[in-house]
Structure 1
């Protein structure tokens, strides 16, 4: 694989990690991030989420929630999600705090407000490399079924990007996006930013 990808979602680590897991299994160079202030996982009610700091190991979250209410967190899919996440990487990372992780060629977000945050963050950095990065928003509802479908769509688009000439991908991005939108009947937001 010739490109490096980042999957970014808000704070619950479902959509970005589903895409990260699928792309990693397919051999892509991929990382995943959240943009929120904390990792928020559903709790017993909307007013009682489980809140963790970025960097808290997924296994620790899994064990704590399994002790609290194993039936609830199994039923709502949180325990299986945390188990999947821990097989992909140690702990959630925050996009804004991990600029030193390297340079990405393509960054996917799964909701427009995250797309805006990523683009704003990239624009506020010093552009020392003047290396382009394609930022794409693929709108995906935040539930386990939609996250799985969104991951497959992200994989499809990544495969199309990989099939382009690495030197001229910027010239063909409009055609790639138009073909993807026509094939999947999904509208994408995208822009090119710089490192």
Structure 2
């Protein structure tokens, strides 16, 4: 909670711009937890320093801009980006190999899963861009769908818990676990819808014969 309090102080003094810059840094792999940053943005809205709905919009733009920047840098510079000193620290040969294994296992769906993998997110986006595995539009859509799950949870959690730090700390811990549960539910729903669509298509094909 010490980091949260520091971020709240900085954000309260500097407003939306500070939140946006902090989220860009999160996207660039700076060791600043994105979830705590989003919660801090929600807290200052709850304390009256910002509008919570605008904060959500700013947070979405900041998150997507940071992620997109990493993807586009990788896409533009290709394998050369791994020679950059800062990127080399973030994307070590071991981590690069691990990301490649995950791509082999999950395919482009990893770009959706990556939002729920702190510590791996930036490495996944840079790798996806540098290997030209997916178009920018597909990346943006997958990342945007994942962000629509995680970003509002953290921002509005901070907003509703702004005046009760004990409650907020408890729900941050629960939220970090609960987000995985929600993520699992979304996956199950998507699979069920996909299965039903496939079944209807198969039935329609058999009826037309």
Same fold by TM-score greater than 0.5:
no
Higher helix share: 2
Computing the radius of gyration over CA atoms, which structure comes out larger, 1 or 2? 2
With normalisation by structure 1, the TM-score equals 0.29
With normalisation by structure 2, the TM-score equals 0.28
Higher strand share: 1
